[in-house]
């Protein structure tokens, strides 16, 4: 018995084989949010996101029946990156209130449809485009087109470059909140918060450092978004004037 007791003392640090076993604390070496209620975790994640200077947002967003693939870097005074739809891919750059759009010729032939307008056959390819339309579009290819503030496209396209607008829309969960599994996102330990047991969306919140949201599953299969590089600043620079086309009050229409 004396020998057994001595062995238990010697092995206490490993908690092995002496009736003193136990599980590792899942919150050891974390920021502690895993111990909180789902509502408090969600609140801390939202506040952390709002307070961050910058973020890299990527993934798929479904809105009003349209699917967008996003790869955007955002901060308080603007953003830059790429947006893709079923029919087109374009780049966006916003520096303060100045919004620029860059795309190939095919995009400009169907600009109205891509930007949410009526369009003229984006489903049917560019074969129906007139020579005049094609010539005009080729002049815009790979140029930064300045989007007028009063243009109908400004608010929608500008929303992709607005950190506050995007995060306010994405971080909204719908339904009763509950905590889910612990996992990892890009090697960072997380805890999941679910709304309506997942039907109202979910967010994976970092258990390391600040409790930033790292992965968002939107309700109704409306997309999955990853958020990274929180607080990692980057430079936003307006394009050279020689690379900019300014249409003044409104972008060209193809109706």
Going from N- to C-terminal start, the domains of the chain cover 33-53+174-228, 67-167
pTM confidence score: 0.80
pLDDT band at 21 (very low <50, low <70, confident <90, very high): low
| Mean pLDDT calculated for residue range 182-205 | 95
Mean pLDDT (the chain, rounded): 84
**DSSP letter string over the chain?**
-HHHHHHHHHTGGGT-SSS---PPPTTTTS-SGGGS-HHHHHHHHHHHHHH-SEEEEEEEEEETTEEEEEEEEEETTEEEEEEE-SS-EEEEEEETTEEEEEE-HHHHHTHHHHTTS--S-GGG-STT--HHHHHHHHHHTT-EEEEPTTSHHHHHHHHTT-HHHHHHHHS---S-EEEEEEEEETTEEEEEEEEGGGTT-EEEEESSSS--EEEEE-GGG--EEEEE-TT------PPPGGGEEE-TTS-----
Give yes or no for residue 236 having a pLDDT over 80: yes
What confidence tens digit (pLDDT) does each residue in 116-170 have?
Answer: 443 433 333 445 567 777 887 888 888 999 999 888 889 889 999 999 999 998 8
- 79-100 tens-digit pLDDT: 999 999 988 899 999 999 999 9
Report the pLDDT value the prediction gives residue 92, as an integer from 0 to 100: 97
């Amino acid at each position: 018995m004396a020998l057994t007791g001595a062995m238990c003392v010697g092995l206490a640090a490993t908690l092995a084989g002496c009736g003193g076993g136990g599980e590792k604390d899942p919150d050891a070496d974390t920021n502690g949010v895993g111990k909180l209620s789902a509502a408090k975790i969600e609140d801390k994640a939202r506040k952390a996101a709002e307070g961050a200077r910058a973020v890299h947002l990527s993934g798929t967003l479904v809105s009003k029946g349209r699917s967008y693939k996003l790869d955007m870097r955002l901060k308080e005074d603007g953003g830059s990156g790429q947006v893709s739809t079923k029919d087109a891919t374009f780049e966006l750059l916003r520096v303060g209130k100045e919004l620029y759009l860059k795309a190939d010729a095919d995009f400009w032939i169907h600009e109205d449809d891509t930007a949410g307008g009526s369009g003229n056959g984006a489903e049917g390819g560019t074969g129906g485009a007139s020579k005049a339309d094609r010539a005009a579009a080729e002049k815009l290819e790979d140029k930064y087109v300045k989007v007028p503030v009063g243009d109908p496209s400004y608010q929608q396209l500008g929303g992709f470059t607005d950190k506050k607008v995007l995060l306010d829309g994405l971080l909204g969960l719908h339904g009763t909140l509950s905590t889910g599994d612990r996992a990892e996102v890009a090697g960072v330990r997380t805890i999941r918060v679910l709304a309506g047991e997942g039907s109202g969306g979910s967010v994976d919140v970092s258990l390391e450092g600040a409790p930033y949201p790292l992965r968002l599953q939107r309700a109704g299969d409306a997309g999955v978004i990853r958020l990274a590089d929180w607080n990692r600043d980057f430079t936003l620079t307006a394009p050279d004037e020689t690379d900019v086309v300014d249409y003044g009050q409104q972008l060209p229409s193809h109706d």
